[in-house]
Chain A
Amino acid sequence: MLQLTNLVKAAYRSILKNRMRSLLTSLGIIIGVSAVVIMVAIGEGAQMQIERQIASLGTNMIIVFPGSRSSGGARLGAGSYNRLTLDDVEKIRQEATLLTAISPVVFSGGQVIGGVSNWSTAIIGVSPEYIQIRDWPLQEGYFFTEKEMRAKSKVAVLGKVVAEELFPDQSPVGEKIRIRNTPFRVIGVLSEKGQSAYGQDQDDVILAPATTVLYRLKGGTHINMILASAVSTERMETAQEELERMLREAHRLEPGDDDDFRLRNQTEITEAASETSRILTLLLAAVAGVSLVVGGIGIMNIMLVSVTERTREIGIRLAVGARSSDILIQFLIEAVVLSLTGGLFGILFSFGITFLLNELTELYCHINLAVVFIAFGFSGAVGIFFGFYPAHKAAALNPIDALRYE
């Protein structure tokens, strides 16, 4: 067995003798490998973005939505639409053992007049624990307390965007605003939160006591959601089960009845949201993988042409004492060296592209090192697999015929 180093050196010499052809041969691999790495990087980056955004929604959050009663799969309509109430929240607050905080959420909205201008925005009624659940500290002022909840006080905390629209040059704290003609006093301003995972501007909002919003702005007794924070991520599931049990009790549901509400936790939401992204990444990687295989076919074709062109050369080698296996190994190594070198260039190229994408665009790309190694290994495998047939053809040549070849 001739030394591997000599063979690899000889392979490189052969490859360098015809640089253009070698480049074209390995182009498929270069593109294939870089495509795989870049696609996965974009996909993973997107997933990480989403996860980060959802994580910024809060900590260990459980969300309760009201659900309509269904019987045998068919919705029973508005009449049977069950409601979540402040009483539900109160009951859970007193009895739950695995929750650190709980808040009702009441959606409303409307025109707000104050400061230098007016602004149409969302008004959300919550309890004092809301900002704890949401990891949302204040920038200025104070958040309302239980006292203001009980008193249904007309106090408001402005989101950053609203504060800047209505009070661009001064602190809004202590100022008066009118929400749908009801006067409110501003007691605080929230810090910036940015865009939510669903694309909404979270800073375009006004928070007020849920009791106030319900009785003074919206009317009725039903609330839109309940937000709660579980004691820890590990105990999230148990906390969710406890919550479900309590709500079923509060709603007087029989053991056989369906829940008339829906529970979601932050982990589930994250997974659901990034699921699409994950599937897309897989799809892109698969397509890129196909291009890698196509690159391999390219190698095979060009190597076949190369073998034909080098028939004389093969004859000469056989005449001076090469074995068939020597010829086979020579061409196989050339194919593998080509594909691995192409793989390397592909990886370097992909590093460059992801760097540029991160610097110049909104896209966030995160390179998965495992994928880099897999793609590199795959390029080697492609070289061996698709180089084998041409190498075999070369090794099967008869020296006399080969030497006579024009």
Chain B
Amino acid sequence: MAEHLIEMHQIKKSYKLGEVTVQALRGIDLTIDRGDFVAIMGPSGSGKSTLLNLLGCLDTPNSGSYFLEGKDVSRLDQNSYAAIRNRKIGFVFQTFNLLPRTIALENVELPLFYLRNSRVQNPKKLAMEALKKVGLADRMFHEPAQLSGGEQQRVALARALVNQPSIILADEPTGNLDTKTSLDVISVFQELNNEGITIVLVTHEPDIAQYTRRIVKMRDGLIRQDYTVEIRRDAKKDLVEFKDETE
């Protein structure tokens, strides 16, 4: 019996916003298995970003349990969370969040710099391979300012992959991209997932969700729907069609 990659039971999280306490998550039960491709959707204020932050160990729940690869990670110390973020999690953000004035290769190397208890022989080589995987091997010496939005997001994806994490978490990865570039990036996600990489992405665009395998809909801090995608789209194919249409 394979354990679930992620098991969350009754996760609750609230914030203080000045005088008011906001109940962002009011009791989340969620399991994610290896190889899943999950889209978390919901209106603004539904708690989807909070959920993603908790999944990525950027924050801790007020109550409930979170099992990652069979281990309880709900109440650990800061350094342990840092280690989990380094080895187990790969983040992709809406605003790319690359280090400015730093070449792509060095950006991708960043997680390796903080790797502990592991001798990495050639970090540059690992970084190059990650860039190759996202199709940007020829841009490794470019700085973010010299890259397009789509290219920057792919560099961010390569950085998320370089430490071979258990799961990729993406917060609105196509939010800042145009349609064509979005398709480009989503096709890379699909490719990676087809190779077995687990991906959870947060989006408010239903179109994007159609490229994933499973949709989790949230509202007011609770999961309302959780279902498999019936008709899954293929980003590569759609990209070709899109190009034909616009050219």
Contacts and interface: CB of A to CB of B under 8 A. Distances in A.
Which of A6, A316, A320, A399 gathers most chain B CB within 10 Å?
A: A320
A98 to B, nearest CB: 75
A322 B114 CA distance: 6
Interface string A312-323: 110111111111
Contact of A321 (B85, B97, B98, B100): B85
Contact of B99 (A316, A325, A403): A316
Contacts of B97: 312, 315-316, 319, 403
A400 B100 CA distance: 19
Interface of A: 2, 6, 10, 17, 312-313, 315-326, 399-400, 403
A399 B58 contact: yes
A2 B58 contact: no
B93 to A, nearest CB: 7
Given A312-B97, A323-B78, A324-B78, A317 B58 contact: no
Contact of B111 (A315, A321, A325, A326): A321
B101 A17 contact: yes
Interface string B99-132: 1111000000011011110000000000000000
Contact of A326 (B58, B102, B114): B114
A20 to B, nearest CB: 13
B114 A400 contact: no
Contacts of A322: 82, 114
B182 to A, nearest CB: 21
A399 B97 CA distance: 12
Nearest to B111: A320
A74 B104 CA distance: 88
18 contacts: A2-B114, A17-B101, A312-B97, A313-B100, A316-B99, A317-B110, A319-B85, A319-B97, A320-B85, A320-B86, A320-B111, A321-B86, A321-B163, A323-B78, A324-B82, A326-B82, A326-B114, A403-B93
Contact of B114 (A313, A315, A320, A403): A320
A320 B110 contact: yes
Contacts of B100: 313
Nearest to B106: A13
Contacts, number: 57
B154 to A, nearest CB: 16
Nearest to B101: A17
Contacts of A320: 85-86, 91, 110-111, 114, 159
B79 interface: yes
A230 B99 CA distance: 76
Contacts of B85: 318-321
Contacts of B83: 321
B59 interface: yes
Interface string B69-94: 00000000011001101110001010
B53 interface: yes
A400 B58 contact: yes
A320 B127 CA distance: 14
A377 to B, nearest CB: 30
B91 A10 contact: no
B113 to A, nearest CB: 7
B101 A319 contact: no
